[in-house]
Amino acid sequence: AAKCIKGDRKAPYTIGWANIYSVPTWMKQTQGTIEAEVETLKKQGLVDKLVVTDAQGDANVQIQQIQSMIDSDVDAIILIAGSSTAPARVIADACAKGIAIINFDSLVDTDQVTAKVNTDSSQWGDQAAKFLIDAIGGKGKILILNGPAGVSVSDDRRKGADAELKAHPDVTVLAETNTPYNVAPAQEAVTSLLFANPEIDGILSLGGALSAGAVLALDKQGRDQVPITGENARQFLELWKEKGLKSWATMQPNWLGAFAAYTAVQALEGKDVPAFVKIPLPVIDNSNIDEYLARAKDFPADGYIYSPYDEELFKKLLAQK
C-alpha cells in the first residue's frame, strides 16, 4: 500500500480539503474541479463527504484545521500548504494516524505524505527563461517579475531561471520586483520600472496575473510590447491575442485539485501511488493559444483557462514512474 495508508479504512470515504484561502479565483476554480471529481467518486460509491476548510491565508489556522480533520478522523486530506514548512508536523501526525494525504500545488517539506502532486517550479522558471532569452536573441535588457518574497513557489521559479540567465552573460537584468500574483501591483511596479529604464527588451514574468499587469503597463505608457512569459490567466491570454504578443505561457492546472482527490481515493483503495507525481508543464504558444481562447467563455474573466482533463489522464499520470 501507499505511504500513510492503513488497511482499516473502508469506502465510502470522507475527504478533507484543507484549502489555504478559498477567495482567490484560482482557488475557486480549483475547488470547482475538486467538487466535480468528488461528485463522480460519490456516484461510484467511493466517497460520501467532502469537508472543506478555509484558512483565510493563515498557515497557523491551516495547521489548526488539519488538526481538526485529524480529530474528526477523515480518511484523506488533500491540501495546498500555506507554508512550505509550517504544516509538516501536523501532517506527519495525520500520516501516523493512517490518513491519506495528498499535497498539491504548494508543497510541504516533509515526506510523511501519501503523495505530492505538482508541476516542477524550477522547470517552470527554466523553460520561461529559455523562451525569453531565445525570443530576445540571446542578449538584451530584461525585467524580472516575481511573486511574493519569502514563499517557496516564487523562490523556486526564480531559482529555476538562474542557470539560463548565468549561461547568457549578455542578458542584463535591469531590475527585479516581488509583488502579489495580481494585475494591479504588477502594473504599478512595471510602470515605475519603465520610466527608470528607457530600454527594455523582454520581461521574465514568473506567473499569475503579473504578465497581464506588465502588458497593460507597456500599453498604457505607449511603449512597444516586448517578449514576455506568463501563465494561463485569461486576461493575459486575451491581451496576448489582442496585442499580438511574442509570448509563451505555461500553467499550474486547476485540475491538480481533482487529481489529488482522485489519487487520495486510489491510495485508500489500496493502489500504490508514486510519492511524487510530476505533472508535465503544458505549454501555450502561438500554435495553440486559439484553442485556449476558444474555451475562454467557460472560465471566469479573472480566472485561468486550464487544459482539459479526464480520468484517462489521471490514470496515465498515476502510472508514470
The binder of other proteins chosen from 29, 229, 232, 254 (CB under 8 A):
29
CB-nearer residue toward other proteins: 40 or 67 = 67
Please identify which residue in 48, 120, 134, 176 interacts with other proteins, judged by CB under 8 A: 176
Residue 157 has phi, psi (to 5 degrees) of -60, -45
CB 76 within 8 A of CB 264: yes
22 binding other proteins? (CB under 8 A): yes
Among 118, 119, 121, 191, binds other proteins (CB under 8 A): 191
Among 83, 121, 250, 263, binds other proteins (CB under 8 A): 83
Confirm or reject binding of residue 196 to other proteins (CB under 8 A). yes
Closest CA to 152 of 218, 104, 209, 85: 85
Residue 58 binds to other proteins (criterion: CB under 8 A): yes
Tally the residues of the chain: 321
Q: How far apart are CA 275 and CA 251, in angstroms?
A: 22
Tell me which residues in 133-172 interact with other proteins (CB under 8 A). Answer: 148-152, 155
* Exposed / middle / buried, residue 272 (Cβ in 10 Å: 0-12, 13-18, 19+): exposed
Q: How far is the CB of 67 from other proteins (least distance, A)?
A: 5
Query: Quick one: which H or E segment has residue 221?
Result: none
Q: Does 225 bind other proteins (CB under 8 A)?
A: no
Contact between 89 and other proteins per CB under 8 A: yes
Selected binder of other proteins within 4, 117, 189, 228 (CB under 8 A): 189
Determine, following the binding rule CB under 8 A, whether residue 67 of this chain makes contact with other proteins: yes
The three grid cell numbers given for residue 60, joined into one nine-digit string: 497557523
Cα(258)–Cα(313) distance, integer angstroms: 11
CA 304 → CA 103, 168, 256, 296, 319, distances in Å?
A: 21, 32, 13, 9, 27
Interaction between residue 123 and other proteins (CB under 8 A): no
Which of positions 236-295 make contact with other proteins (CB under 8 A)? none
What is the nearest approach in angstroms of other proteins to the Cβ of residue 61? 6
**187 is a contact residue toward other proteins (CB under 8 A):** yes
Render the burial of 85-112: b for 16+ CB within 10 Å, e for the rest.
ebbbebbbebbeeebbbbbbbbbbebeb
Q: Which is nearer to other proteins, 26 or 248 (CB)?
A: 26
Question: How many residues of this chain bind other proteins (CB under 8 A)?
Answer: 75
User: How far apart, in Å, are the Cα atoms of 301 and each of 171, 284, 288?
Assistant: 35, 18, 20
Binding test (CB under 8 A) with other proteins, winner from 1, 36, 59, 281? 59
Q: Does 212 bind other proteins (CB under 8 A)?
A: yes
178 contributes a contact to other proteins by CB under 8 A: yes
Residue 54, interface with other proteins (CB under 8 A)?
A: yes
